[in-house]
Structure 1
Amino acid sequence: MAPGTAPAALRRRRTRERLRTLGFLSPWLAGFTVFFGYPLVATVYFSFMHYNQIQAPAFVGLRNWKYVLQQMPLFGPALWNTLWLVVVMVALRVAFGIGIGLLVTRVKTGAGFFRTAFYLPYLAPPVAATVVFVFLLNPGTGPVNEALSAVGIDAPNWFNDPDWAKPSLVLLSLWGIGDLMVVFMAALLDVPKEQYEAAELDGAGAFARFRYVTWPSITPIVMFAVVTGVVQTMQYYTQALVAGKLASGVTVGPGSVIQPGYPDHSTLTVPQLVYSLGFQNFNTGAACVLSLVLFAVAMAVTSLLMRRSAGLLTAED
């Protein structure tokens, strides 16, 4: 074999392998570029532009950033509401999902009924589920307040009270806990029964068995539920907007513009503010700035959760 022939053949084989790998990755790369890469670059570009979706974009430098971060009065409340929902809603959904999963997997009779009953609300479309929930919690005619009044409890105004509006949205999310229930049921049923039997022989009680057997086994699923919950809640839009509009009693007609956040901007989230700026007020530059801020916050929170120091993953996971 002539000198240099083997290295040349090896290079050609490696080139073919790279091209073959690139061919298998090309559908993902095309989707990533079209649906994430280009929109992200365009968002950064328009954040430095004055663009009303009619006239050509005009470069304005950091004016949009200064307006959003220093002059926009609703940016602070919207960011606070979004972060509040992320912390409270995600934590309660995970805890409630684990509890319901434990209940359904431990029940001896009627397990199918309970699984169906807890999963059915999740199948309802978000708008329909919100409409039903606002009707149930209507302070004047809702059956929940009527039942509480019948037993002598002063019922809150729920979606009409700024102090109760966000907790009402949390209750709505817990009502549709069926998705997490199924995920945690699968994780709980996958825990080896031999470990429970060994723990019982060692005299471990119910809490000790959950702490030392159940929790280490479902920790990766908990991490998955937390991270996906944070990402979804950062995009929280439909339920808060529909609940605010229904609770306000404002009739939506052709050409009407409803400012989100009723009551007193207590349900205003950053995605609602992005839509209001970009598609109602045609301030695309400020809407892009808000989108980038939301993206940065979501990435920061997700990165924090993915760190091992967050305590949700052990070293061997």
Structure 2
Amino acid sequence: MAATAMHTAGRPRRGISVHTRRSLIKGLLFVSPWLIGLLALTLYPIGASLYYSFTSYDVFTPPIWVGLENYQTAILGDENVALALTNTFLYALVFIPLAQLAALFSALLLNVDLKGQSVFRTFFYLPSIVPAVASTIVWIWLFNPQYGIINIVLKFLGIPGPGWFVSPQWAMPAYILMSLWGIGGGMVIYLAALQDVPKELKEAAELDGAGAWRRFLNVTLPMISPVIFFNVIMGIIGAFQVFAQVFIITGSYGAAGPGNRLLFYSLYLYRQSFQSFKMGYASALAWILFVIIMVLTLIVFRSSARYVYYAGEK
């Protein structure tokens, strides 16, 4: 038995075959561009940002470790952070419900069988793929208090036109109205969900005497609730990252609109990093924004069991 054990122990172990090794190397070569991109463009910047958030860093000099000072300043000592968060929360609270209602209503209209349906769908979707710079310049012209077409129409109707982007009272409403221009993406998702609702359920509800409104509330709305949930999550993430349009409207320096009414969090973060070169402080602001979005998303996820219906669940 001892001899057998020694003989077994003395056998050479078989390693990976040449074919398997070559296949592994080829696979690694194929995924290496993605891995390099993930490391260089995602993981490293995330780690560097987290490190810089605990330092005083201005690009030109080496970072100096300051601990939680940046976070304390942002949360307790910087009035502009509070103002930017207030403006951003206000925008999100108004824009997200309006955008979802407008996108869903548009999808309901475009879900009706009519002649030229595809043309109407294209027209509704096109604004969402127009570059942000181009669309913002158009809206700045439309909202011009003196020669903008919106105020010209209002004047023709006998209504005094507001100052829009130059008025402290109207700057935020004007920006919200402008943002509704891009609901086409959400509309397409809602339209796909509406077309997925089983016709048998609608017909059964109709046979039971349910009208159009009752069918929508009791059949259509529960069936598309997962899509509503998805669009709300994406709306929250997008609303707290507003930057390009408001940057074009307000410019690089000075007040962000009248009375800083358009000072959004991402715009303030940009100004701290690329204008004041406070990279450490800006990194702390970025991580605070990440925590805010994560907490809001988790709240929506945890509460989704009450109103999101999945057909496969009991």
> Equivalent residues in 2 for 1:158-307 (5 A)?
158-245=164-251, 258-259=253-254, 261-307=256-302
Deviations 1:162-211 (A, max 9, x none): 22212212211212221111111111111111111111111111111111
Q: Which amino acid aligns with 1:213?
A: V
Identity of aligned residues (%): 37
Aligned to 1:75: 81
Q: Distance in 2 between matches of 1:26 and 1:208?
A: 54
TM-score under structure 2 length normalisation: 0.85
Q: Say if 1:236 and 1:141 are closer, same or farther in 2 by CA, change over 3 A.
A: same
Deviations 1:265-315 (A, max 9, x none): 111111111110111001111101110110000000111111145634237
* Stretches of structure 2 lacking an aligned partner (at least 5 in a row): 6-12
Q: Say if 1:90 and 1:28 are closer, same or farther in 2 by CA, change over 3 A.
A: farther
Aligned to 1:314: 309
TM-superposed CA distance for 1:230, in Å, is 1.2
Q: Distance in 2 between matches of 1:190 and 1:103?
A: 16
Aligned to 1:106: 112
TM-superposed CA distance for 1:155, in Å, is 2.0
Q: Confirm or deny: 8 A CA contact 1:260 1:272 kept in the other structure.
A: no
Q: How many residues in Structure 1 have an aligned counterpart in Structure 2? A: 294
> Equivalent residues in 2 for 1:40-55 (5 A)?
40-55=46-61
The correspondence for 2:162, drawn from 134, 156, 160, is 156
Q: Distance in 1 between matches of 2:33 and 2:301?
A: 27
Q: Confirm or deny: 8 A CA contact 1:304 1:310 kept in the other structure.
A: no
Q: Which amino acid aligns with 2:43?
A: G
The correspondence for 1:38, drawn from 35, 44, 50, is 44
Q: Distance in 1 between matches of 2:285 and 2:82?
A: 11
Check if 1:146 corresponds to 2:152: yes
Q: Distance in 1 between matches of 2:211 and 2:36?
A: 53
Q: Say if 1:311 and 1:142 are closer, same or farther in 2 by CA, change over 3 A.
A: farther
Q: Say if 1:50 and 1:234 are closer, same or farther in 2 by CA, change over 3 A.
A: same
Q: Kindly name which structure, 1 or 2, has the bigger radius of gyration based on alpha carbons.
A: 2
Q: Which amino acid aligns with 1:91?
A: P
Q: Which amino acid aligns with 2:290?
A: F
TM-superposed CA distance for 1:220, in Å, is 0.9
Q: Confirm or deny: 8 A CA contact 1:135 1:142 kept in the other structure.
A: yes
Check if 1:58 corresponds to 2:64: yes
* Stretches of structure 1 lacking an aligned partner (at least 5 in a row): 4-8, 246-256
Q: Confirm or deny: 8 A CA contact 2:229 2:304 kept in the other structure.
A: no
The correspondence for 2:135, drawn from 126, 129, 132, is 129
Q: Which amino acid aligns with 2:265?
A: V
